[in-house]
């Protein structure tokens, strides 16, 4: 058994190689530990058989390209460092990804339509970012991947976002520059290459669109749209230029797809670039209504925080707030730009300790007085539901239940939406995660000038961590639809939760009242 001499090596006095996790034509990839900052990363080395100046320059350009693209899109693997080891072999450092290759997923079974639409959208978002380009020598240069295929797509599981797609291996990507005088040669994978790529012509985004079409057909049917007699360049050249793609019905007679989707995939497979969708943005626009129709349930990225298993995290007593916070709440005045009505909105509360997250609520005076007088019977539910698609949106949910007041009408629900593509929404979400609590300011309809009562609500550590993650992730997430659609999705999820939450609030409050009466 041969021992890999790279294992255990320390690069740049920082990255310790642990395990070989992959190898290809361009080089090897190792799992490593960042002993300076902590955490697991991946290190890619250029193959020793390619240590000429041209390949070194290409490898360095790949690192630079991925570093820029990874900062712009969460759907492209992120590169964080570049260097040369003590044997003069270049390497770069990237995020360590765990998940399944799209090729492995396809080999298991064809992908159901809702899942396909989610994965295809994310792939298109990554391509859209690459095609929009990176800054090179002061000018924006588009990036064409040139090797879009299932094995270059990794699907991982994110706690808040569900399935996350990452496009890998920009190793044969090339900067598209107007003054390029390089002789073009074929690079790519034969079965997924566009006709113009087989010819070695200068490529644009439409070549990646063709490869995407081949891959989308395979994702939906489990089979290839085109088949060559032999796996030779000549055989595939003939196929891509002259063979018509087989129909979805021929590939899988039992498969039922929307005709508009079949037409979209077939248009991506057009022989002439001008007959295809002209950009990843065009494909996204075609996919959007399909995803809204067929996969609404997959857009919701949320945690219900184990209502039954961990009731104390959600169905809790109001927190006791410090005197300083209590004084700040008491002095709060209803904003002049808000109507005198039973509404709920989010707005920071300014204190000497800085801004505090708060929801402002107007209720009938009798209800507020009941919550004050019978506060021992108050039970609070709080939760945060997030949908990143089609538009990043957070639903901040608070409900207060008091048996002595609300037995007939149930909990008082106080939902509040935060648009995560606005600075206000991102800031409030960040504050919630950092402060670990928020204030519920209650104003009476009859005397709305000043706050009548305030309730402090604690946020458990796991929720705080999730909120911070959403605040960061939403900054780079691309909106693909109207905010109102995300609101509708989140509202529907809340309606599903309400019966169970109401039942638990009532049960929890009843147990508390029995305990209080026994005392």
Among all residues, which ones are annotated catalytic?
147
The closest of 41, 133, 76 to 476, measured between CA atoms, is 76
Using DSSP's 3-state secondary structure scheme, residue 145 falls into coil
191-194 LR contacts (CB < 8 Å, sep 24+): 191/149, 191/224, 191/226, 191/228, 191/236, 192/147, 192/148, 192/149, 193/236, 193/240, 194/240, 194/273
Tokens encoding 183: 């002789």
The closest of 154, 240, 229, 141 to 189, measured between CA atoms, is 240
Write the CA distances from 230 to 151, 198, 199, 240, integer angstroms: 21, 16, 18, 13
Chain length of the chain: 519
Examine residue 390 and say whether the peptide bond preceding it is cis (omega within 30 degrees of 0). Answer: yes
Write the CA distances from 196 to 185, 207, 269, integer angstroms: 11, 7, 12
- Residue 83: exposure state from Cβ atoms within 10 A (0-12, 13-18, ≥19): middle
- Count Cβ atoms below 10 Å from residue 99 Cβ, excluding itself: 17
For residues 411 and 330, the answer to whether their CB atoms sit within 8 Å is no
Write the CA distances from 291 to 110, 164, 295, 480, 493, integer angstroms: 18, 16, 5, 11, 17
Write the CA distances from 59 to 51, 245, 446, integer angstroms: 10, 35, 70
List, in sequence order, the alpha helices (H) in 309-439.
Answer: 311-314, 323-330, 365-373, 403-406, 423-435
Tokens encoding 323: 């005197």
Using left for φ > 0, alpha for ψ between -120 and 50, and beta otherwise, residue 62 falls in alpha
Using DSSP's 3-state secondary structure scheme, residue 293 falls into helix
- Kind of pairing, strands 437-444 and 358-363? parallel
Residue found under tokens 């270049």? 90
463-468 LR contacts (CB < 8 Å, sep 24+): 463/303, 463/305, 463/384, 464/432, 464/433, 464/434, 464/436, 465/433, 466/159, 466/160, 466/303, 466/384, 466/386, 466/433, 467/384, 467/429, 467/430, 467/432, 467/433, 468/430, 468/433, 468/434
The closest of 209, 197, 210, 201 to 180, measured between CA atoms, is 201
């Amino acid at each position: 058994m041969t021992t890999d001499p790279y294992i255990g090596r320390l690069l740049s006095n920082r990255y310790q190689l642990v395990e070989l996790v992959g190898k290809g034509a361009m080089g090897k990839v190792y799992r490593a530990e960042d002993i300076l900052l902590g955490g697991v990363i991946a290190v890619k080395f250029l193959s020793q058989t390619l240590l000429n100046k041209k390949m070194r320059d290409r490898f360095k350009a790949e690192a630079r390209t991925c570093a820029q693209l990874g900062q712009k899109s969460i759907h492209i693997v992120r590169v964080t460092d570049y260097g040369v080891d003590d044997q003069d072999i270049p390497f770069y450092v990237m995020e360590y990804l765990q998940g399944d290759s799209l090729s492995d997923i396809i080999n298991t079974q064809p992908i159901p339509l809702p899942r396909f639409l989610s994965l295809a959208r994310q792939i298109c978002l990554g391509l859209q970012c690459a095609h929009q380009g990176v800054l090179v020598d002061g000018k924006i240069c588009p990036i064409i991947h040139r090797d879009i295929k299932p094995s270059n797509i990794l699907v991982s599981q994110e706690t808040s976002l569900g399935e996350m797609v990452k496009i890998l291996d920009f190793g044969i990507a090339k900067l598209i520059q107007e003054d390029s005088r390089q002789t073009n040669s074929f690079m790519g994978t034969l079965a997924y290459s566009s006709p113009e790529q087989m010819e070695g012509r200068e490529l644009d985004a439409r070549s990646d669109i063709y490869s995407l079409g081949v891959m989308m057909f395979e994702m939906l049917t489990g089979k290839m749209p085109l088949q060559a007699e032999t796996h030779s360049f000549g055989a595939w050249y003939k196929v891509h230029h002259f063979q018509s793609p087989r129909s979805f019905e021929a590939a899988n007679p039992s498969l039922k797809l929307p005709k508009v989707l079949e037409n979209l995939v077939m248009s991506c497979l057009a022989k002439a670039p001008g007959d295809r969708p002209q950009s990843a943005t065009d494909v996204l626009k075609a996919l959007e209504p399909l995803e809204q129709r067929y996969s609404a349930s997959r857009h919701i990225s949320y945690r219900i925080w184990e209502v039954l298993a961990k009731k104390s995290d959600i169905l809790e007593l109001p927190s006791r707030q410090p005197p300083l916070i209590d004084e700040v709440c008491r002095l709060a005045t209803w904003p002049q730009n808000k109507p005198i009505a039973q509404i709920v909105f989010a707005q920071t509360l300014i204190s000497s300790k800085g801004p505090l997250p708060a929801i402002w609520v107007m209720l009938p005076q009798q209800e507020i007085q009941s919550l004050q007088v019978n506060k021992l019977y108050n039970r609070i539910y709080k939760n945060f539901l997030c949908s990143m698609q089609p538009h990043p949106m957070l639903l901040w949910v608070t409900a207060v239940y008091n048996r002595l007041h609300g037995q007939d009408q149930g909990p008082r629900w106080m939902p509040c939406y935060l648009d995560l593509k606005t600075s206000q929404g991102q800031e409030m979400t960040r504050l919630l995660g950092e402060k670990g609590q928020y204030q519920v300011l209650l104003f009476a309809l009859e005397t709305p000038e000043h706050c009548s009562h305030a309730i402090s609500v604690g946020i458990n550590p796991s929720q705080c961590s999730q909120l911070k993650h959403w605040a960061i992730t939403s900054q780079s997430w691309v909106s693909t639809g109207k905010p109102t659609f995300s609101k509708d999705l989140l509202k529907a999820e809340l309606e599903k939760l309400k019966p169970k939450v109401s039942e638990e609030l009532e049960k929890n409050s009843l147990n508390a009242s029995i305990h209080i009466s026994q005392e």
